[in-house]
Amino acid sequence: DTAVSQTPKYLVTQMGNDKSIKCEQNLGHDTMYWYKQDSKKFLKIMFSYNNKELIINETVPNRFSPKSPDKAHLNLHINSLELGDSAVYFCASSQGLSPGTDTQYFGPGTRLTVL
């Protein structure tokens, strides 16, 4: 049973296209996150949602729009893709909002390549 799953695993697309990445967790957690890992392996948080409410919204271009239809899903839609968007995107979930007490569980990642 996969706790946090993401689709697709790989995504190759042209500049200017719009694409979505889906994330689902079956852990019953209330909080979900999107992280971006760049080519130098730096991992940076983009968004977090708690009970479908946006909690963290880091400095991310507004071409990126997260959508949480329910607590178990957090999708990431990206408009007008740019070369610099190429990265690995990780979804994660945790029970609550505090990293100290609420362990984050990560999905396997989606490798996005923009040509």
Partner 1 sequence: AQSVTQLDSQVPVFEEAPVELRCNYSSSVSVYLFWYVQYPNQGLQLLLKYLSGSTLVKGINGFEAEFNKSQTSFHLRKPSVHISDTAEYFCAVTASGSARQLTFGSGTQLTVLP
Residue 60 main-chain phi, psi, to 5 deg: -125, 140
Q: In the complex, what is the shortest distance from the CB of residue 75 to partner 1, in angstroms, rounded to a whole number? A: 17
* Distance (Å, whole) CA 99 – CA 79: 30
**What is the closest distance, in whole angstroms, from the C-beta atom of residue 102 to partner 1 in the complex?**
10
Contacting positions for partner 1 (CB under 8 A): 4, 40-45, 48, 55-56, 90, 92, 97-101, 103-109
Shortest gap between Cβ of 82 and partner 1 (angstroms)? 23
